[in-house]
Chain A
Amino acid sequence: MQFPREELFAPGHRGCAGCGAAIVARLLLKAAGKDTIISNATGCLEVMTTPYPETAWRVPWIHTAFENAAATASGVEAAIKALKRKRGKYKDKKINVIAIGGDGGTADIGFQSLSGAMERGHDMLYIMYDNEAYMNTGIQRSSSTPFMAATTTSPAGSKIRGEDRPKKDVAMIMAAHGIPYVATACISYPEDFMRKVKKALSIEGPKFIQVLQPCTTGWGYPPEKTIEIGRLAVETGIFPLYEIENGEFRITYKPAKRKPVKEYLKMQKRYRHLTDEDIERIQKYIDEKCKLLGL
């Protein structure tokens, strides 16, 4: 018995078959346990888990607006603190306060509320579940959409070649806030992700984890490949796994030999317009980034 058996994320949710966001939630709750309060921004995860009056969550959960998961969580954290101090409630209880939002909800519209919560020093964990676009509203690009990926608002045609900007590096921006713990993770490495969640929750103060989750609908691949594609993202170095604890950077998974990024790109429809030249460009960009990180 390696993984905890408690299921705090119920079946019956409306995530697409093979949904990576559902895997994020299930693993997150297995690691965090039942003494957890979740603040969830609008997006696929919220919509598919909680078509009122049904919900897949078996822990206290708040649906908050698209832009303020971190603000809501910081309020919950402050309230718990006050109840402990002024009323002597939950005195010996450790309650995990976790905010979770998509890449749009985190890197774009929720960015200022996230930055504020991290800067104020709230004792909370923020999870960015990254599927690299606004999936719930029909695959629009976000600032976390990678270079050259096609979405409905960064289409691939004769003039536009998909997304024209590099993926915003939210984890590093969070690290620049000087918070005690920042990590990247991927659902294809559940031990690594769950260990990072547990570690983050054992540290006092603001923590941030960006977890990559392939999306069958938005990325365009058969549902059974969700885990395989996530693994390739890490094995090729396009999405490196690391943690930054009190300013100390550490790679947590180092592929023996990085695979060519072509293997990752060719499995997804959002990249099917790429020429060999385009792929070469992306490969060069990854090589440079990995060199910088020591991969």
Chain B
Amino acid sequence: MVTIAAIIYEPGSSIKNKTGTWRTFRPILDTNKCVKCENCYIFCPEGAIQEDENGNFKIDYDYCKGCLICMNECPVNAITKVREEK
């Protein structure tokens, strides 16, 4: 007998769920100030900070939940916050 468990065939299918709508504050990353220390990249719980085609770190607002860990951990204050307007 084979017991059929609940199987998910699509790895990483949670990307359907755009968690950017959770935000109260929006982090803004100033590329000119960024020294590419990678703190924000490695500590973001969403993996929402990635390099763009020019190698600059960029925030993906589709998934960023606005926790502001990136802002807190940036050594050169390249990340600031603004309140989201609804």
Chain A interface (Cβ < 8 Å from any Cβ of B):
2-3, 5, 7, 9-15, 17-20, 22-23, 26-27, 49-59, 187, 190, 216, 223-228
Contact = CB atoms under 8 A, between A and B. Distances in A.
Contacts of B73: 227-228
B46 A22 contact: yes
Contacts of A226: 43, 45, 67, 69
Contacts of B65: 17-18
**Dominant SS at the A interface?**
loop
**Dominant SS at the B interface?**
loop
A188 B73 CA distance: 10
A11 B60 contact: yes
B54 interface: no
Contact of B14 (A5, A27, A49, A225): A49
Contact of A55 (B12, B67, B72): B12
Contact of A54 (B13, B45, B50): B13
B12 A224 contact: no
A44 to B, nearest CB: 12
B69 A58 contact: no
Nearest to A30: B42
B6 to A, nearest CB: 5
A195 B60 CA distance: 28
A228 B12 contact: no
B40 to A, nearest CB: 10
Contacts of B19: 11-14
B45 A23 contact: yes
Interface residues of B, number: 34
B26 to A, nearest CB: 12
A53 B45 contact: no
Interface in B26-79: 38, 41-43, 45-48, 50-51, 60, 62-63, 65-69, 71-73
B57 to A, nearest CB: 12
Contacts of B50: 7
B69 A11 contact: no
Nearest to B9: A53
B83 interface: no
B8 A55 contact: yes
Nearest to B47: A7
Residue of B15, B43, B60, B62 with most partner-chain A CB within 10 A: B43
A279 B28 CA distance: 38
Contacts of B18: 12
Contacts of B12: 10, 55-58
Interface string B1-23: 00000101011111111110010
A17 B19 CA distance: 9
A11 B48 contact: yes
8 contacts: A11-B15, A11-B46, A18-B45, A18-B65, A55-B11, A58-B12, A59-B11, A223-B68
B47 A224 contact: no
Contacts of A13: 14, 17, 19, 46
B72 A225 contact: yes
A10 B68 contact: no
